[in-house]
Structure 1
Amino acid sequence: MALNCGIVGLPNVGKSTIFQAITSAPAEAANYPFCTIEPNVGIVNVGDERLQKIADIVGPEKIIPTIVEFVDIAGLVKGASKGEGLGNQFLGHIRQVNAIVQVVRCFDDGNVIHVAGRVDPIDDIEIINMELALADLEVVQRKISNLPKLIKNQNKEISSKAKMVAPVLDKLVAHLEEGRPARILDLSDEDLELVRDLNLITLKKTLYLCNVSEDYLVEDNEYVQKVREFAAVEGSEVLKICGKLESEIASLESEEEKKEFMEAAGIETSGLSLLTNAAYKMLGLRTYFTAGVKEVRAWTFRAGAKAPEAAGVIHSDFERGFIKAEIYHCDDLFNLGSESKVKEAGKLKMEGKEYEVKDGDVIHFRFNV
Structure 2
Amino acid sequence: MKRVAVLLIVLLGITASADAAPKTISVKKLLVVAPAPGAEGLVISGKTLVTYSNTSGINSNVVVTGLDSNGATLWQKTIDSGADEIALAASVDSNGDIWLAGDSAALTPSDTATTQLPPDNPDGVIVEPQSSIRNDMNQLTVWKVSPIGELIATYTLTQKTPPLVNAISINASGASIVGQIADKPYVISVSATGTFGKLINVGTSKTQLNAVIRNSDGSASVFGSSSETLGGKKNAGIRDGVLLKINKAGAITSVVRSSASKAVRSWNSSDPSLVLTGSIKTGKKNESAFTKFTSAFVPSWTIRIPSNGISLVTSAGGITYGVMGSNTVIPGISGWKPTSTQLLLLILDGKGLVTSAYGATELSFP
**TM-score category by the smaller chain?**
under 0.3
Structure number with the higher strand fraction is: 2
What is the TM-score when the length of structure 1 is the normalising length?
0.24
